[in-house]
Structure 1
Amino acid sequence: MKKTVIIGGGAAGMTAAIASAGAGDSVTLLEHSPQLGKKLLSTGNGRCNLTNRNQDASFYRCPESDFPEKALKQFGYKETLEFFRGLGLFLKEKEGYVYPRSSQASSVRNALLRELERRKVDLKMETDVREIVKYEKGFRVRTSDTSYVSDRVILSCGGMAAPSTGSDGSGYRLAAEMGHRIIEPVPALVQLRSFRTALQKAAGVRADGRISLYIMENGRRAFAGADTGEIQLTDYGISGIPVFQVSRYASKALSENKQVWAEIDFLPEYTSMEEKQKLFQSVRQEKKGYDCLEVLCGLFPEKLALAFLKEADIPFHLPAEQLDENRTEKLCRTVTCFSVPISGTNSFSQAQVTAGGVDVRDVVPESMESRLVQGLYFAGEILDVDGICGGYNLQWAWTSGWLAGKQGRK
């Protein structure tokens, strides 16, 4: 019987322990927090969006674009459903998003805990790992008060996002000490900060929009990503799922001291600029007797309408029929290409995931084994792979955890 030590008891670590024990290994799971899967409890606003029927390589962000895809071919959406059904968990789907039937993240965590117990996984809580030593035929994992000898080690320590749940980045040090390169970790699925006065005056507003993110690369504007949905304006900048979806690109660029800005189209349902221009032309021609603020308040929340008019330098109470061609065009550009310079992101404490981590070029995607150290494996957020909102980060946890636990075995 082979001995496996798993460091980190989050979603990926628990999955790796179940897979490894199911393959016949004697498994010890070390977790530095008092409980397993604490971060799992907060996913999906407590409902745990554990995967998504719609799977595509573009939903995962990684410097080696085919790395997540190769892993998901081994253990993907269908295998994940089978895995949880095998644990006795009933599931439900809504528009591709998969949740536990109970709509409670605790149901997912409890199902994993029951299986760990059934598989007789040895759980060691509040255990900090100080060092991993590689020997010719195995490893010695040294903690603050003892050590464990094993044939294999799986690092599933998570990243740095949501540190209150136990994610402190300690796994990066262990990986680096074993010779692995660490891509600088930055917050992802996180709010973006800006000092635009116009935004601050509209704080609290939620409005549909399309955000497009741009980065200055070698003196040229480079498109980074875009998303559409409800955008939240705050006193520090912008938030909402569309902002989260593009935030990792902003984080990466800002860490490299590059200029970053967003453009927000607050009329995303009008698909062409021609349609948008016709709308504003009709405002000028058909809304006689109304002032500009009254007209815009028919389209947007008042605080946002005020911000647009101030940005376009148009008097709030100017009669709509007095808008000339230049002012009409300027107002249209302001509403549909609202520029937001990005000065930073919120911290890891408010981020949902980490972008960056162990360089995947040194990891075998089909098994999660290190290319540098035989018998060393990785799983979950510690790797430089992150997904968009919608269950993709948990899918990565199940996928990488299962492959590391099985270690290439069927």
Structure 2
Amino acid sequence: MPLFESRITSALQQRREQGLLRTLSPVHGGNTTQIKVAKQSFTNFSSNDYLGLANHDALKATWKTAVDRYGIGSAASPMVTGFSYAHHELQDTLCDWLGFEQAVLFNSGFSANQAVLFALLEKSDCIYQDKLNHASLIEAGLLSPATQFRFPHNNTERLHDLIERNGAGLVVTEGVFSMDGDRAPLANIQAQCQKQNCWLMVDDAHGIGVLGKEGKGSCEESLIKPQLLMVTFGKALGVHGAAVLCSSSTAEYLRQYARNFVYSTAMLPAQAVVVTKAIELTRTQQWRRDQLSELQHTYSSLLGDLPGYIDTQTPIKPYLAGSTDRAMSLACYLRQQGLWATAIRPPTVAQGKARIRVTLSANHTVEEVSKLAQSLKQFEYQHAKEGG
């Protein structure tokens, strides 16, 4: 068998034997709280649509109007003819909202993270990353010419020691961690960066829109301003794309040297218009964050005594199952109750840390969260009764 066929066959077989093979399931309504799979309906607890904007009538109407004005595609990279007045307005809106001099637009958070690290880091540099950072960040650090050091999750003492031993560099953390739903100690990290002459980059994909005044995110709530802030538009804002917020000189540097920006077709102008509208709704509709707070309180009060419960102050509510088999059994049981909540398994999380990643949306009701809680309790009761 040729080399690559043999390698592919072996790798897929190993995943199957470990029970870790991922599969694609076409769904209808994945951007709503009611999802349909193979003609069966479920309450959806697996979307990152935290504010309930992804299917909002105002955003859909804005999209239709913007398409009529700008057309479907951008047709070129930003440095050619792909940068429109719609993109310019979005940049200005982001800067006004988040308090930075400039914003550089990207087609995804993955692309934005890799663009920054590949463009900024050189062979003599050090990069310090939280061990639970997103794969886009860890991969970019490994593939960059810099030397990468990973510190234990949220362990600022270990971060301090690494910098003391190896020298100043770039410190990278998430504001809200996507699999655990917990938050970084940003004020402490920034204080260390200032003391040890490091730059700080925060990936706030899961904090923007949800935390802080007007949904300004983790940094605003922690009263800090990093040198680099990456935000995405496909989670709380309900659309798609990303931006890096920074100083004017850093933005100019990225536009010159970030290959993900220079050589990629630009974000659709109609999309930029819709993101601008989504930011307006995010800033002005505080009731969405208030609804999330109420739902989080309901979830915690009903499930706080269960062994799999993990306390978080965000809409991400991991329910720890432990083994892969138990996580898959729990996901299957929930679907039997009409609830769609995805099992997260290694290698996305560590061995023995498989879980159900529950995410709450402002469009959920207290009754729906209560049903989820009751179903989790029933599963635990049956599992204990069977001696599992």
If the length of structure 2 is used for normalisation, what is the TM-score? Answer: 0.22
Higher fraction of helix = 2
Larger relative contact order (Cα-Cα within 8 Å, sequence gap ≥ 6):
1
